[in-house]
A and B are shown apart, each in its own frame.
Chain A
């Protein structure tokens, strides 16, 4: 039953000058594929290493399957850990690497042979059992590292940027393979990555971290549809941010927001903010409607196309509004037609697709900073 619980965990480095992880509370359920995502340096690795026992927390408790593990050395925690650079032992061949766990746990020879064979067959590398690590490609090393971690019999798999060192194409292929393995074997997995699309693609739930703290935990869908802050709105997917002030309530769940240049738009209210409050509206590039010329749309704003990029599946427009704000709009490229630069356009969005946040104390730019 390897669910994992972190209670008020904190870790500092350099005599307290660097706070790597701060007040982290987390509950990963049994058999869940959980992702920990955030910009680099936000404390993901440190969190994972504390769970593994490779780093000792300054404060707080860590439970694995209801067992308080704070005092246990890593070898007694029953975990599998996949390192970013694989860390295959260079003095051993693939076979010895994969059977290392069973060997040092003194499992009997027959069982060790069987597990080694099964694990290598599972990642389609049984034929390469005699190879030494440096003869393998990155993707192969990754698969060996994975099967080595699994061969030790752990039900909790910790993955630190497991795909970070691979080429883009292999990276996307392997992430589904890892998820399938975890699900087939009924494991619990905690997957650390700075790549939000990877996190969205593989996990059941995601925690977004920033500067050592957890900002929001939820399913990929929840994080995308209901980000609880400007940072999450920007980090998971992409968002345009429009600054404004609340003018008045409108209907049951709406407010009118006055943007720069005295444009009034309607947005969903978030309940707490009163008239006069300074706010930020977050709207995803793919949430806009876009038409040529002057048209009447819901929450329509007019502007000029400054740049167009064809990006394969999508077409990406940079639009300068008449109030001088810049907005990114993304449209699917299915039709094969797009608007040219210097065209006058109208864009609009439905109030449900905008997320309203109070204007951050330190300013918008500071709130969006990654480090």
Chain B
């Protein structure tokens, strides 16, 4: 009797978890697809056969989409180019300041992007950044890098925000990869670089692919920083934000759908490649003997003395793209404190804009409150859904499918996600929630669930919990006792890490929030608004403030994840 009662409770519990997963996380992710299908006529008319402009919208969509795809691809290539040596460096060397460097890499992941956008913009185009050296901005905001044909600042910002995906996945993989393979290769006569090419690189291709997909998706969906440094350029996610604000919902949702498809296809391709890579041997291609010999010689020579050069290049790049902007933004708050150093007018100063007639300080505090409330509630809801889901995913076979699907919210461009939530719950959908705090929370929950889940699953897999639970059971604990006394304590760090990451991500989210916030403005969109209304000093201050907040959270994260 008692047992079957328990079974019943367990079943209800599993069903409740599944239902909340479906309704809160998966439904919004896929709603956009059904929306575009069910309202296809509307979408078709708007995009392809607009009575006023014909298929001009379609042409715009194509333009923005191809621009975004090109940008993301180039970003991933650059990420790889300097992420690989950096990851190798971090995985294999012990040196003073290593944990600090790792923190910098993590910082890039948690930093609120709009604040970081302001920092980068200022560094390269303002007179108080690098420009201080030459008396004017180093480059124009609209400068386009020749050959690859993408805007310099966007490239820069995107690389800064996405390279950690490569570094962290590859570093993890390399740390797991026994150094014994490298050592074996060296004792057999291969130089360090030859070893890298023939052993380490092939073995870490899966990690490179999965890191690459995450970086690609993040770049494809990045909105906050992109809007700030965009100047005259428009990416696909920016176009969604703009069209929604112009109530061109049909066109926006069609573009959103295409973005979701692009990200999903990227994941699928990589998964298929990786699975095949496991089973089918790579074709054996051999270089001409002469070239092969030359290559080995070059590698041998390059493996010699000046090997620190590539380490220094990696470090230098990090300094330039991550640390310098942060430093500049903080320094600039000082420079702009009482007057605008460009014009000499006090109206441009931080003091005036914050506490003078514009009174941005009060707005900033209101926004902070909204940000913290939404981040806290959405993280709480996410944790409540995610933790039992981990059990479900690890215990049942179908769980694997769920885990797979739950990666999608992580790579779907956030403005597409925001649009989807807006269409689903908002006035034009079920009309349950209007734009504002609660809609923001519903949006953030979608990506917060997988964000909490990933480190928890990692902790679960890394700690051999099934074994220990088994041990607890043989010692007489009931399944529930075993979870409470053995598993949850072992998962604690993973859960905490996920919670902090989710909170940070929610706090810094821009793209989706823009679409669902109504009049409840959180801090990151506020920064964008300030920058767009040319309240430079207020934007500066708010950026520094956001970055400081994320540093505090990073510190917390570090305390939780390190012993």
Contacts and interface: CB of A to CB of B under 8 A. Distances in A.
B330 to A, nearest CB: 35
B187 interface: yes
B188 A85 contact: no
B203 A90 contact: yes
A161 to B, nearest CB: 13
B280 to A, nearest CB: 11
B539 to A, nearest CB: 47
A91 B194 CA distance: 15
B293 A81 contact: no
B183 interface: yes
A54 B194 CA distance: 16
Contact of A87 (B178, B192, B292, B303): B178
Contacts of B293: 106
A52 interface: yes
Contacts of B281: 93, 132
B306 to A, nearest CB: 14
A75 interface: yes
Given A104-B194, A106-B293, A106-B296, A89 B184 contact: yes
A43 interface: no
Contact of B189 (A83, A87, A101): A101
Contacts of B135: none
Nearest to B197: A104
Contact of B203 (A53, A77, A83, A91): A91
A335 B282 CA distance: 63
A100 interface: yes
A54 B185 contact: no
B363 to A, nearest CB: 53
A79 B184 CA distance: 11
A83 B181 CA distance: 10
Interface string B284-303: 00000100110011000001
Interface in B138-162: none
Interface of B is mostly: helix
Q: Give the interface size bracket for A toward B.
A: 20 to 34
A74 B187 contact: yes
Interface string A57-84: 0000000000000000111010111010
B285 to A, nearest CB: 13
B143 to A, nearest CB: 43
A105 interface: yes
A321 interface: no
A104 B185 contact: yes
Contact of B187 (A79, A89, A109): A79
Interface in B108-158: none
A87 B191 contact: no
A192 interface: no
A108 interface: yes
Contact of B181 (A52, A54, A87): A87
B556 interface: no
Nearest to A77: B187
27 contacts: A53-B187, A54-B183, A73-B303, A74-B183, A75-B189, A77-B187, A81-B187, A83-B184, A85-B178, A87-B181, A89-B181, A90-B181, A91-B199, A93-B281, A100-B185, A100-B188, A100-B190, A104-B296, A105-B189, A105-B296, A106-B292, A106-B293, A108-B289, A109-B289, A132-B281, A152-B189, A158-B187
Given A75-B190, A90-B203, 14 more contacts: A52-B187, A54-B186, A73-B191, A73-B303, A75-B186, A81-B184, A87-B180, A87-B183, A87-B184, A89-B184, A89-B185, A91-B282, A106-B293, A152-B188
